[in-house]
Amino acid sequence: MENESGALSRVAGLFSARGYNIESLTVAPTEDPTLSRMTLVTVGSDEVVEQVTKQLNKLIEVVKVIDLNEGDHIERELMLVKVRAVGVERDEMMRLAEIFRGSIIDVTNKSYTIELTGTSSKLDAFLESIDRSAVLETVRTGACGIGRGEWVLRV
Partner 1 sequence: MNAELTGAEITIRCLQEEGVQCIFGYPGGAVLFIYDELFKQDKVRHILVRHEQAAIHAADGYARSSDKVGVALVTSGPGVTNAVTGIATAYMDSIPLVIISGQVPTGAIGLDAFQEVDTVGITRPCVKHNFLVKDVSELAVTIKKAFYIASTGRPGPVLVDIPKDVTQQQAQFVYPGKVTMRSYNPVIKGNSRQIKKATELILDAKRPMIYAGGGVILSDAAEQLTELARMLNFPCTNTLMGLGGFPATDKQSLGMLGMHGTYEANMAMQYCDVLIAVGARFDDRVIGNPKHFSNENRKIIHIDIDPSSISKRVKVDVPIVGDVLDVLKELIKLLKTEKTEKKKPELPSLKEWWKQIDLWRERDCLRFDRDSKIIKPQMVIEKLYQITKGDAFITSDVGQHQMWAAQFYKFDKPRRWINSGGLGTMGFGMPAAMGVQLANPKGKVACITGEASIQMCIQELSTCKQYRLPLKIVNLNNRYMGMVRQWQEFFHGNRYAESYMNALPDFVKLSESYGHVGMKIEHPEDVEGALKEAFKLKDQLVFLDFITDQTENVFPMVPGGKGLSEMILV
The nearest distance, CB 12 to partner 1, in angstroms, is 10
Selected from 23, 50, 67, 98, the binder of partner 1 by CB under 8 A is 50
Interaction between residue 51 and partner 1 (CB under 8 A): yes
CA distance 54 to 57: 5
CA 20 from chain centre, in angstroms, equals: 18
CA distance 28 to 38: 7
Where in 13-151 does DSSP place strands (E)? 24-29, 36-41, 73-84, 103-107, 111-118, 135-140, 144-147
Interaction between residue 140 and partner 1 (CB under 8 A): no
Q: Which stretch binds partner 1 (CB under 8 A): 46-54, 85-93, 106-114, 139-147?
A: 46-54
* Beta partners for residue 114, in sequence order: 81, 104
Stretch 13-32 residues interacting with partner 1 (CB under 8 A): 13, 17
Interaction between residue 69 and partner 1 (CB under 8 A): no
Q: Which residues bind partner 1 (CB under 8 A)?
A: 1-2, 6, 9-10, 13, 17, 47, 50-51, 54-55, 57-58, 60-63, 155
